Amino acid sequence: MAFIKLNDLEVEVEDGTNVVEAARLHGIEVPHYCYHPGLSRPANCRMCLVEPHVFFPPAGAIVPDRQLATGCTTVLRTAPPNRKLDGKYDFIVYTDSPRVKKAREDILEFLLVHHPLDCPVCDQAGECDLQDFTYRHGHDKSRYLEVKNVPPKKDLGPDVLLYSTRCIVCTRCIRFCQEVSGSNELGLIHRGSHDEIDIPRSHDGMPLQLLDNKLAGNVVDICPVGALISKDFLFKSRPWFMKQEKSVCAGCSVGCNITVEYKEDGVYRLKPRFHEEINQHWMCDDGRLGYGYVNSDDRLQLPMKRVDGEFQPTHWADALTQITEKLSEADAEKVVVIGSAQGTNEDNYVLQQFAHEVLKTEHLGLFGALPGEEHTFPQFTIEADKNPNTAGARKMLSNGTPVLEGEALWKKVSEADIVYLVSGAPERSLEAEEKAVLESVDFLIVQDVLPSEVTALADVVLPGTTFAEKDGTFTNSKGWVQRIRKTVDAPGEARIDWEIIQQLARQLGGEMNYHFAGEISLAISENVSGYAEATHQNIGDSGVKLAE
Amino acid sequence: MVEEKRILYEHLDVPEIHTFDVFRQHDGYACFEKAVADYQPDDIAKMVMDSGLKGRGGAGFSTGLKWSFVPKDIKPCYLCCNADESEPGTFSNRYVLEKNPHLLIEGILICCYAMGIETTYVYIRGEFTLGKKRLDAAIKAAYANGYLGKNIRGTGLNVDIYTHPGAGAYICGEETGLIESLEGKRGQPRNKPPFPAVEGVFRKPTVVQNVETLCNLPFIVGNGVEWYTKMGPTYGDARFDPPKPDPNTGTKLYCISGDVNKPGVYELELGLTCAELIEVAGGLRGEQVKAVIPGGSSAPILTHYELDTRLDFTSLTLAKSMLGSGGIIVMNETRNIVDCLLNIMKFYAHESCGQCTPCRWGTPWVRDIVQRIADGNGRKSTITRPKFGIAENGRWGDTGETEDIYEDLDLLESVANNIANVDTMTWNTICVFGIAVSWPAVSYMRKFRPEFEATIREGKLTTLSVEEATVPPEENYAYQQRIVPRELE
């Protein structure tokens, strides 16, 4: 630990922390643009200048006055005993001295020289570092009389637009493409005040390579100004009109921490949230843009039953009564209950309890989205398993007996009379073999969020909820149990999955009385081995790692 | 009457000296052979330190000291020869490369021997086509005669030299910009520390030396430290008690251009005055010296009041200017300083690499302001303000008079100082390009303010007489702390 004098504070920081981070830890803002904790530090924006108490020039160099240092590259370390300052400090640094304040004003003035005043139509307004820092540290008027540079607007790739006029050339996006995605699509063209970010182009301006890697969306997040803009979010909402909730991405088994930004009428965007061991600062575009089904107009809003081969919407009482009648008559050996790797641990735990205690069946299976492709980047991995909770669901469903998966599951289903299938995987297509087996089932109950090939085979369809509409926990492939939180309301009469199951259980005479997901997680922590710590109270924002 | 006396570059004008045979006939490579035969590598490093050799590239940093920063235990270590000479007004490296490339190779060999270096890169300015051709031929001849390659002349020393042409960027003459460019990246200077001596080419310790610095090495080794230190003044650094020796030893290739009768490269001992140098170069062309740029276009300008300034590293630093690369540009009474500044600012605005904010957007802004003034559109306020200067009590303060407010001159000074502060010598930029911009901008404006004011008043470029255009030293606060160093006894 290094003992630092930071302005008038005396603080201890870990060796190797830079001044920006040390100040942030103690509630002091050091404005910066080019510095990003997940990227290298070129110190080119010069915004984070701080005044070190002493500057150690190489012996003999003529440095008559103290040079301001960039906070991002000034790393704090424990000094040897004979180098302590004032006898005790390892370093003394001022982030609010008159010279620092003057330097910030000057740098902001330069940044604004060519920056257009189009905040009223800029997507970034409200979450723009340039806007915020100018407001807090900058001049109130411009002394620039000359003509501003107007570089062109560019279409960089499937989801990214570049408004070059707004760009402050911090090169965060370039470094991201070099260091994290390793795909090197972006670079600088021209020189000096004509610097522009661009993709490789031929001489006549045709793109040779697009910014279309699976992590491209992150450059929009890390852009400190409104230069890089997501086409998906373009002109959709002002940031301050959206509510935010911390959640976990349901796109694959990595379990990236995200912030869901939403309004009453739906989810507007997903943004990655820092988690040191899972996703650092990033998320993939599959996850980022994969929320569309939540807002879909096709969502299942009412229970449906099959009458003369046609689906008819019905009401919950009718649908549940029909199911109860079938289940109460059925032979327990001929009932298969299939949980979903898309569902939360709570959903699957309640389903397991329902199967064992009420239906008395041992045949529990696991269903989920079809596997995709694995993508590996220098600092990021997208996993092939496209379900957020495979590990958790498997654990919740297997209470004594192993969970049926793959061929074993379909074999068991082919022998069954009644199958209760919780899907939740949006628009899941079925392979021929799976389809044949499910068609042969006498009475198929499907609980899902969107019409799909699975619901098309059902006798009764129950409308469930997506990750954005319920509370719960997901367990990722590395054993991290993390919270998802309810944001928007479920469409129509769709209900939270475990509530549907609990209702069925009660109608069949079971005793189940959960009021909210946290209560189920307490039951899980008591009854499922390894999950003792994984209650909602303990999990917090960053999750709990299960013991190996 | 001072005359040019070639000492180090005695054979520079020998016909065909660029060929190996002619070079050998003039004792070529004898100093290298002497170095290997008579001295250990550490002895040579010590000789260079004792000689007080200062880097000739611009910053004037002690070569011996730079070598001492190189970690001994990290190998490989590289030598980078900076031949990317692009400072306006400087052309000495080009002269050496075209005339006597073998001298450079000999210097490189001595440096490599002293530092245990096996690989050298010569980053040569792309426009030096003849220089590169001659150097490549010289390197080929040296390989053929066993002065380069493996086991040189049976000494067990291995040295390879690679030449790398630049692509035309001024900033690639900055040592870390040069390294980035050499590595194949965009020529943008790195943050320091770490300095190249610790982490340079390919993240390995690197010695970066100018062509001229390396050309000094054979003579330090060949003739001894004592012989070398007799040339040039050694000052006492008054910040220490007793004054610390501040050597400005050796000779320098001064490149003199502008309004003199015989412009060109002159080898002279360090420490002669500006006036003497103009005399050496055939005297002034014109009536009167108006201004002298002492060290390439980025150095602060000297007025005709300052012609007694000695042209060496210490004197010019204390006169708030710099020797830089030794590119001296003389201007006579017909020159318009606003126009000169515009010319220089156009160059810097074009050459800013665009990496860091103040320089990227500050340099074109400064250029635009000067352009506006030169076009006759400079702004002058209708109100006046109290004039500051030497007050009645003899100290700096309110003089009781009023002065006109020239808004664009204030803006020019403020913007330039925001890139790099000339008064405190601190810069907000990554490299010293920032100060290379604001130094001329602020010094021209302060020292020749009447000419700028006249241009704004008249609405067109207006050239005043020398006396009218120059601010007298006693009225100019840029001179207030001008110190003339004293030579050690």
Spell out which chain A residues touch chain B, with contact meaning CB-CB distance below 8 angstroms. Answer: 41-47, 49, 58-68, 70, 73, 103, 106-107, 109-111, 113-114, 143-146, 168-169, 188, 190-195
Which is it for strands A9-13 and A2-6: parallel, antiparallel or unpaired? antiparallel
Per the structure, the count of domains in chain A is 3
Asked if A364 and A230 sit in the same domain, the reply is no
Residue A57's pLDDT band (cuts 50, 70, 90)? very low
The token pair that represents A365 in the structure block:
């299976």
Q: What is the pLDDT of residue A54?
A: 59
Q: What is the pLDDT of residue B391?
A: 83
ipTM of the complex: 0.92
CB A228 within 8 A of CB A173: yes
B305 at the A interface (CB within 8 A)?
A: no
Round to whole Å and give the CA distance between A71 and A65.
18
Asked if A170 and A315 sit in the same domain, the reply is no
Q: What is the pLDDT of residue B87?
A: 92
State whether residue B407 is helix, strand or coil: helix
Reported as a single tens digit per residue, the pLDDT across A431-450 is 888 899 999 999 999 999 99
Q: What is the DSSP letter of A97?
A: S
Q: Does residue A415 lie in a domain region?
A: yes
| Rg of the Cα atoms in chain B | 23
Domain at A185, CATH number: 3.30.70.20
Q: Does residue A321 lie in a domain region?
A: yes
Which CB contacts under 8 angstroms, 24+ apart, belong to B59-65? B59/B432, B60/B313, B60/B317, B60/B322, B60/B323, B61/A60, B61/A61, B62/A60, B63/B209, B63/B213, B65/A58, B65/A59, B65/A60
Q: What is the pLDDT of residue B478?
A: 61
- Residue that has been written with the tokens 């100060």 in this structure: B435
Asked if A405 and A532 sit in the same domain, the reply is yes
Reported as a single tens digit per residue, the pLDDT across A511-522 is 899 999 999 999
**Which of A241, A257, A292 is the last residue in one of the domains?**
A241
**Which of A69, A104, A139 is the last residue in one of the domains?**
A104
Low-confidence ranges of chain B (pLDDT < 50): none
Nearest of B315, B324, B73, B308 to residue B210 by alpha carbon: B324
- In degrees, rounded to 5, the angle at the alpha carbon of residue A495 between the alpha carbons of residues A491 and A501 is 160
CA-based nearest residue in chain B for residue A63? B425
- Interhelix angle B337-351/B357-374, nearest 10 degrees: 150
Asked if A88 and A125 sit in the same domain, the reply is no
Nearest CB among A59, A107, A169 relative to B354 is that of A169
135-194 in chain B: CB under 8 A from chain A: 169, 186, 191
- Can you spell out the DSSP letters for A307-328? ETTEEEE--HHHHHHHHHHHHH
Contact B357 A107 (CB under 8 A): yes
CB A313 within 8 A of CB A256: no
- C-alpha distances (whole Å) from A365 to each of A24, A346, A399, A457, B426 are 48, 16, 12, 18, 70
Contact A110 B430 (CB under 8 A): no
CATH of domain B337-481: 1.20.1440.230
CA trace torsion A229, A232, A234, A238 (10° rounding): -100
Q: Does residue A293 lie in a domain region?
A: no
**Which of A72, A104, A136 is the last residue in one of the domains?**
A104
- C-alpha distances (whole Å) from B86 to each of A338, A438, B140, B167, B268 are 75, 78, 26, 11, 22
DSSP-H helix ranges across A402-516 = 406-415, 432-439, 453-456, 497-507
Q: What is the pLDDT of residue A515?
A: 94
Domain at A20, CATH number: 3.10.20.740
- Min Cα–Cα distance to chain B from A182, Å: 16
Q: Does A55 have pLDDT greater than 80?
A: no
Q: Does residue A141 lie in a domain region?
A: yes
The residue segments making up the domain with residue A72 are 2-104
Domain at A313, CATH number: 3.40.50.740
Nearest of A252, A13, A256, A33 to residue A133 by alpha carbon: A33
- C-alpha distances (whole Å) from A29 to each of A92, B413, B428 are 17, 30, 19
Question: What residues of B are in contact with residue A65 (Cβ under 8 Å)?
Answer: 424-426
- Can you spell out the DSSP letters for A475-488? E-TTSEEEEE---S
Fold match, B20-231 / B250-332: no
Asked if A354 and A471 sit in the same domain, the reply is yes
Residue A250's pLDDT band (cuts 50, 70, 90)? very high
Question: What residues of B are in contact with residue A60 (Cβ under 8 Å)?
Answer: 61-62, 65
CB B171 within 8 A of CB B433: yes
Look at the alpha carbons of B360, B362, B363, B367 in this order and tell me if their dihedral is positive or negative.
Answer: positive
Level-2 CATH architecture, domain B250-332: Roll (3.10)
In angstroms, the first-to-last Cα distance of chain B is 25
Round to whole Å and give the CA distance between B129 and B137.
12
Nearest of B338, B401, B404, B395 to residue B372 by alpha carbon: B338
CB A460 within 8 A of CB A446: yes
CA-based nearest residue in chain B for residue A187? B186
The residue extents of the domains of chain B are 20-231, 250-332, 337-481
A32: Cβ contacts below 8 Å, ≥ 6 apart: A20, A45, A47, A48, A71, A72
- C-alpha distances (whole Å) from B176 to each of A167, A444, B80, B196 are 26, 71, 11, 7
Percent of chain A with pLDDT over 90: 81
Q: What is the pLDDT of residue B394?
A: 80
CA-based nearest residue in chain A for residue B367? A146
CATH of domain B20-231: 3.40.50.11540
State whether residue B396 is helix, strand or coil: strand
| Rg of the Cα atoms in chain A | 28
Please give the distance of CA B468 from its chain centroid, rounded to a whole number: 30
Round to whole Å and give the CA distance between A195 and B356.
11
CA trace torsion B452, B457, B459, B462 (10° rounding): -50
Q: What is the pLDDT of residue B489?
A: 66
Q: Does A19 have pLDDT greater than 50?
A: yes
Asked if A8 and A141 sit in the same domain, the reply is no
Contact A46 B61 (CB under 8 A): no
Reported as a single tens digit per residue, the pLDDT across A167-184 is 999 999 999 999 999 999
Q: What is the pLDDT of residue A351?
A: 95
Asked if A417 and A472 sit in the same domain, the reply is yes
Please give the distance of CA B248 from its chain centroid, rounded to a whole number: 14
- In degrees, rounded to 5, the angle at the alpha carbon of residue A261 between the alpha carbons of residues A260 and A264 is 115
Asked if A371 and A426 sit in the same domain, the reply is yes
Q: What is the pLDDT of residue B166?
A: 93
Contact A145 B65 (CB under 8 A): no
The token pair that represents B300 in the structure block:
């602060």
CB A162 within 8 A of CB A154: yes
Round to whole Å and give the CA distance between B249 and B269.
8
- Min Cα–Cα distance to chain A from B427, Å: 7
Q: Does residue A125 lie in a domain region?
A: yes
Q: What is the pLDDT of residue A56?
A: 52
Q: Does residue A171 lie in a domain region?
A: yes
Q: What is the pLDDT of residue B226?
A: 94
The token pair that represents A101 in the structure block:
């304040």
> Beta-carbon neighbour count of residue A360 at 10 Å?
10
Query: Would the pTM of this model clear 0.95, i.e. be above it?
Result: no
The token pair that represents A494 in the structure block:
């769709």
B346 at the A interface (CB within 8 A)?
A: no
Nearest CB among A46, A146, A168 relative to B429 is that of A46
Asked if A29 and A93 sit in the same domain, the reply is yes
- Chain B contact probe: residue of A191, A194, A197 with most B CBs at under 10 A: A191
Contact A107 B428 (CB under 8 A): yes
